C-alpha cells in the first residue's frame, strides 16, 4: 500500500485564497488587518521566517510591519516596544520571533503581548482558553495540523491519536486540539518507553520531535494518518521531517511530506489568526 500524500502547500494556498476574499470584504469597510513582527538580533533562520511571514501577509492584502531590533536590545526596550504595539489600533496581531537572544526572558515577553493580539497563541490567557475549551488564539502549527486532518475528511472522534513531542508550541497544544475533537490522546516524549509500541496504536500520529527520520514505517499502524511537523537538515543540505518518509508511506494511509506539508500551513494559520484578531477586536 502507498499512502495518500497530504499536500499542505495546496491546502495552504486555498486557505490564503479564501482569506484574500475576506480581507477584500473588510477593506470595503475601511479595515485592513495588520501584523507586526518583532525580530531581535540576526539569527539567519529567523530572518527567513520573518521575511516569509511578511510576504504572505502582503499576498492576502494585509498590512505587515517588521520591526528589527539589534542583538544588544535589553528586555526593557523590547517590552516597551510591545507596549507601543499593544496600544496601536492599526496593529491587530503581534508576534515576537523566537528564539530571542540570551539575556531576554521569552516568558516575560510572551506575557507582555496583549492576549487579543497574540497571534502565536502562546500567551497564558490563550493557552488557558485552549485548555478550558474556550475561544482564543490557537498556536499556528498545531492549528494547521488539525486543519490538514479535517480537510482530508479524516474522522477524529473516538480515534487513537498519538502526539510525539510535548513542547509548548507544538506537542501540548496539538494534544489538546485532538482531545477537543474527541480523540483518545497519548503524548510521548524523550522518556517514553518503547515508543514504537505506542505509535503503532495510533490511528492519527503527529510527530514533533526535531530528530531527522526517527519514526520509521515499522512504528506506524497500517492505514494511519501521519502528520510530520519536523524540519531538519540532512548532512547533504536537504530538508527532511521527523518521519522516515520512504518507509512510512508504504504503511500509512495518509502522510504529510517535508517540505510541503505542515510548514506552509503554519504561515497560513498565522494569517488566519491575524484576520480573526482583527475581526474580533476591530
| Residues in touch with ligand NDP (CB under 6 A) | 141, 164-167, 169-171, 188-192, 195, 208-211, 229-232, 262-263, 266
- Residue sitting closest to ligand NDP (CB): 167
Q: Is 250 annotated as catalytic?
A: no
- Helix (H/G/I), strand (E/B), else coil: 3: coil
Whole-number minimum distance, CB 110 to ligand NDP, in Å?
Answer: 14
Between residues 164 and 202, which has the closer beta carbon with respect to ligand NDP? 164
Whose Cβ is closer to ligand NDP: residue 29's or residue 191's? 191
Query: How many other CB atoms are there within 10 angstroms of residue 11's CB atom?
Result: 20
Tell me, yes or no, if 53 is annotated catalytic: yes
Which of 118, 120, 228, 242 is flagged as catalytic? Answer: 120
Reading phi first (left if > 0) and then psi (alpha if -120 to 50, else beta), residue 254 is in beta
Catalytic annotation present for 108:
no
Q: How far is the CB of 264 from ligand NDP (least distance, A)?
A: 8
Extract the C-alpha cell encoding 187.
503524548
3-class DSSP state for residue 37? strand
Element containing residue 24 per DSSP (H, E)? helix 8-28
* 163 versus 277: smaller Cβ distance to ligand NDP: 163
Q: C-beta of 88: minimal distance to ligand NDP in Å? A: 27
Considering the complex, state which of residue 91 and residue 185 has its C-beta at the smaller distance from ligand NDP: 185
CA-nearest of 150, 117, 151 to 136 is 117
* Dihedrals phi, psi of 74, to nearest 5 degrees: -90, 165
Least distance to ligand NDP from the beta carbon of 247, Å?
17
Q: From CA 111, how far away is CA 127, in angstroms rounded?
A: 11
Which residues share a beta bridge with 231?
A: none
Grid coordinates given for 179: 482531545
Q: Mind telling me the catalytic residues?
A: 53, 97, 120
Amino acid at each position: 500500500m502507498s499512502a495518500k500524500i497530504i499536500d499542505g502547500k495546496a491546502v495552504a494556498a486555498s486557505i490564503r485564497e479564501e482569506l484574500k476574499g475576506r480581507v477584500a470584504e473588510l477593506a470595503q469597510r475601511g479595515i485592513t488587518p495588520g501584523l507586526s513582527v518583532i525580530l531581535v538580533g540576526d539569527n539567519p533562520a529567523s530572518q527567513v521566517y520573518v521575511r516569509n511571514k511578511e510576504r504572505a501577509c502582503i499576498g492576502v492584502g494585509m498590512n505587515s510591519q517588521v520591526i528589527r531590533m539589534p542583538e544588544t536590545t535589553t528586555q526593557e526596550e523590547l517590552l516597551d516596544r510591545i507596549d507601543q504595539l499593544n496600544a496601536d489600533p492599526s496593529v491587530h496581531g503581534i508576534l515576537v520571533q523566537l528564539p530571542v537572544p540570551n539575556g531576554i526572558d521569552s516568558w516575560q515577553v510572551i506575557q507582555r503581548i496583549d492576549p487579543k493580539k497574540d497571534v502565536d497563541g502562546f500567551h497564558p490567557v490563550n493557552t488557558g482558553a485552549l485548555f478550558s475549551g474556550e475561544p482564543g488564539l490557537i498556536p499556528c502549527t498545531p492549528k494547521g495540523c488539525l486543519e490538514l486532518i479535517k480537510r482530508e475528511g479524516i474522522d477524529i472522534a473516538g480515534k487513537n491519536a498519538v502526539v510525539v513531542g510535548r513542547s509548548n508550541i507544538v506537542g501540548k497544544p496539538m494534544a489538546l486540539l485532538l482531545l477537543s475533537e474527541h480523540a483518545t490522546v497519548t503524548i510521548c516524549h524523550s522518556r517514553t518507553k518503547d515508543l514504537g509500541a505506542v505509535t503503532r496504536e495510533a490511528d492519527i500520529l503527529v510527530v514533533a520531535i526535531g530528530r531527522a527520520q526517527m519514526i520509521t514505517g515499522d512504528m506506524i499502524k497500517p492505514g494511519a494518518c501521519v502528520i510530520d511537523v519536523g524540519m531538519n537538515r540532512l548532512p547533504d543540505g536537504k530538508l527532511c521531517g521527523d518521519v522516515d518518509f520512504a518507509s512510512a508511506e508504504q504503511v500509512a494511509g495518509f502522510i504529510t511530506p517535508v517540505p510541503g506539508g505542515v510548514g506552509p500551513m503554519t504561515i497560513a494559520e498565522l494569517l488566519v489568526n491575524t484576520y480573526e484578531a482583527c475581526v474580533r477586536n476591530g
